[in-house]
């Protein structure tokens, strides 16, 4: 496939937002406490009897709203083009007040978003964008890349593991105050750079 990656500015978020992030949830990672948690947690993939569609942009308004919600001056946006149209994107945040995932660390970057058009998934576009995000974070002096996903996004979890990331945090109650996603479990992945 003929793939071209470009760094985009804020104006590129309009094209970025046109790339669907929707996916079908066919399985979840079920998190089981061992000995009330004293023995750790065990995760296993569980197939759903009733698959459903998930659209992350439906919860927060998507990429076009990021400049209104955050100071994105320390963010990088990458667009992947194939067949002369945007087919993927990645957003990386660094040293941004108000982005709690950065926990006030100046050596940490967050892969805020990565999305691939459904017609182009599993063709290496995500891996290429991930490498661009890693290289950008390294250029900022970061020693770690942090990524949030949920137990309902099994393909993303498998993707991050394949990229060399390790699961660093499991928060079973992170979304308890958000009715639409209250039953989801936050999974935080890290990549040492």
78 pLDDT exceeds 80? yes
Could you write out the DSSP letters of every residue in 9-21? -GGGHHHHHTS--
pLDDT number for residue 60:
78
pLDDT number for residue 46:
98
pLDDT number for residue 91:
98
Biggest CA pair distance of the chain: 54
CATH architecture of structural domain 3-192: 3-Layer(aba) Sandwich (3.40)
pTM above 0.85, yes or no: yes
25-73 pLDDT, tens digit each? 999 999 999 999 999 999 999 999 999 999 989 887 899 999 999 999 9
117-126 pLDDT, tens digit each? 999 999 999 9
DSSP category for residue 34: S
Report whether 117 contacts 165 (CB < 8 A): no
Task: Express as a percent the part of the chain with pLDDT over 70.
Answer: 99
Determine phi and psi for 80, rounding to 5 degrees.
Answer: -100, 130
pLDDT number for residue 61:
84
Mean pLDDT of the chain: 95
**β-strands 85-94, 108-116 pairing:** antiparallel
pLDDT number for residue 14:
94
pLDDT number for residue 80:
97
Determine phi and psi for 151, rounding to 5 degrees.
Answer: -65, -15
The answer for residues whose C-beta is within 8 angstroms of residue 131's C-beta and 6 or more apart is none
Report whether 114 contacts 129 (CB < 8 A): yes
1 pLDDT exceeds 80? no
Work out the angle at residue 137's Cα, subtended by the Cα atoms of residues 184 and 101, and round it to the nearest 5 degrees.
35
Report whether 184 contacts 150 (CB < 8 A): yes
81-122 pLDDT, tens digit each? 998 899 999 999 999 999 999 999 999 999 999 999 999 999
CA distance 141 to 143: 7
pLDDT number for residue 83:
83
Average confidence (pLDDT) over 170-181? 94
Report whether 95 contacts 75 (CB < 8 A): no
Task: Express as a percent the part of the chain with pLDDT over 90.
Answer: 93
By CB atoms closer than 10 A (0-12, 13-18, 19+), residue 91 is buried
| Residue the block writes with tokens 């439906």 | 58
């Amino acid at each position: 496939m003929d793939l071209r990656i470009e760094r985009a500015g804020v104006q590129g978020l309009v094209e970025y937002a046109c790339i669907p992030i929707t996916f079908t949830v066919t399985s979840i990672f079920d998190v089981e406490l061992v000995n009330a948690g004293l023995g750790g947690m065990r995760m296993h993939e569980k197939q759903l009897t009733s698959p459903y569609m998930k659209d992350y942009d439906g919860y927060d308004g998507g990429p076009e709203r990021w400049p209104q919600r955050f100071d994105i001056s320390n963010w990088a946006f990458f667009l992947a083009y194939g067949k002369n149209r945007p087919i993927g994107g990645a957003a990386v945040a660094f040293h941004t007040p108000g982005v709690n995932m950065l926990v006030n660390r100046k050596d940490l970057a967050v892969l805020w978003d990565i999305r691939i058009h459904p017609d182009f998934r599993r063709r290496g576009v995500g891996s290429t964008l991930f490498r661009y995000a890693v290289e950008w974070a390294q250029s900022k002096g970061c020693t770690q890349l942090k990524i949030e996903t949920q137990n309902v996004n099994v393909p993303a979890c498998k993707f991050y593991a394949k990229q060399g990331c390790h699961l660093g945090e499991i928060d079973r109650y992170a979304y308890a105050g958000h009715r639409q996603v209250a039953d989801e479990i936050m999974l935080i992945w890290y990549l040492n750079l």
